[in-house]
Structure 1
Amino acid sequence: MEDEMPKTLYIGNLSRDVTEALILQLFSQIRPCKNCKMIMDTAGNDPYCFVKFHEHRHGAAVLAAKNGRKIMGKDVKVNQATTPSGQKKDTSNHFRVFVGDLSPEIATEDIKTALTPFGRISDACVVKDMAMGKSRPYGFVSFFNKWDAENAIQQMGGQWLGERQTRTNWATPKPPAPKTSYESNTKQLSYDEVVSQPRPRNCAVYCGGVTLGLTGQLMHRNFFYFFFFPFG
């Protein structure tokens, strides 16, 4: 289906001398490009970029023509970009399977092909390290049906895919960031709640009109100063 073909490409392993204009010039010789966004890694890794096309078939043609070709002396890596933010599928209610211990050569299409016999797949991806331009040794496959996902986990675990045996399990959601002790023990009070508290407990001072960036630590330091030096 055309929707499964690449419309945005990831181009990695680029020379630091490569520019957006050069990429557009080279790729437009094959098919017309819509735009190019170069990402310069401040950590010292090679830059990479994303090129967007007007049509899915144009991206597929460039992917086939340019992957592994040299640009300014380096063999560039061209892959289908992981789902763009504006086009991300909503698979939150689907059944997600973790596929680990993958060989470096295994791509998204490989795990999708391997797990397709178990049922209808809504999404699949091998996780990319965009900075390094390489695949990480794991990916995810989402199924519409829970039974299909369970079947895939049971039967694909330990099966050979490429040069390694796969490891499968349910994908666990990323846990939320833990709250600080201050956040977990302190209730946010409104102005009316502070004022209406009984006098023996009303030791709080309401401060309004504060600017962005003002921290609790800074307020504590200033109020501490006025408590001990009330007359400046």
Structure 2
Amino acid sequence: MEDEMPKTLYVGNLSRDVTEALILQLFSQIGPCKNCKMIMDTAGNDPYCFVEFHEHRHAAAALAAMNGRKIMGKEVKVNWATTPSSQKKDTSSSTVVSTQRSQDHFHVFVGDLSPEITTEDIKAAFAPFGRISDARVVKDMATGKSKGYGFVSFFNKWDAENAIQQMGGQWLGGRQIRTNWATRKPPAPKSTYESNTKQLSYDEVVSQSSPSNCTVYCGGVTSGLTEQLMRQTFSPFGQIMEIRVFPDKGYSFVRFNSHESAAHAIVSVNGTTIEGHVVKCYWGKETLDMINPVQQSDTVFYTLDGTKLWSTAASGAEWQHVA
């Protein structure tokens, strides 16, 4: 229905000389505007505003026409924003539902970050896509250095989806970043969570296995386990070379092109919820057969507790599950 379609635009990267009157004058040429609200950032960042139209079709046309256009010498960024009407709709519901919605933000994973990228950098990069509730670059607690990835949380699912689509592959600093939906840890009581899920650090994980090991074990997905699901979950962390899934057993193996990518995946995905299941991730233990397969007839994978899981003939035969 028309009433449910978004009608409010975010307009960012504005010159400090731009006024509400000027914005209304420009955007009203495309369609009747209901109002304009200018936000002046006291921290010294560029101002931005929200423009609400009476009709969705005019807002959509303005988005297409105005995004990237120069206003007073600056190229403005235009995107959808949470509309005032939808906010009123949420607050008019019961208190319990309203509280649940306010907590149900939408989280975007941002990977392959350059070491110099800060929380402020990713917040500024993703701000044009909508209202951000939180942004952070994940740092190693021991060294204080970036782990090469972070998260951006949006109030609006539409904004998060748009950010994932538009920002994937874009350059931020000296690298092309990766974007995807972030997996979230289940809202379990603290005692239960702490007893079942150990918080892992990158330095701890990366040193647990040899640099030649690039394979992640992911277990606990007792239903709905597919190769596509695993690829969607793990692709933000680096180039995937191979995926093997065992739906009847509820686990899979994901082999990356680097040891570091696999370590980032273990740290980020371990203890999160996939298809309603809390998963465990750790290294798939590779034997010497895997390191030098040309001289061996078999490659055998184990979990770190020594359980034999699957093997493959080095000649390229089909992989065989041996658990």
TM-score, normalised on structure 2? 0.35
Question: Which structure would you say has the larger Rg?
Answer: 1
- Greater strand proportion: 2
Ranked by relative contact order (alpha carbons within 8 Å, sequence separation 6 or more), the top structure is 1
TM-score, normalised on structure 1? 0.47
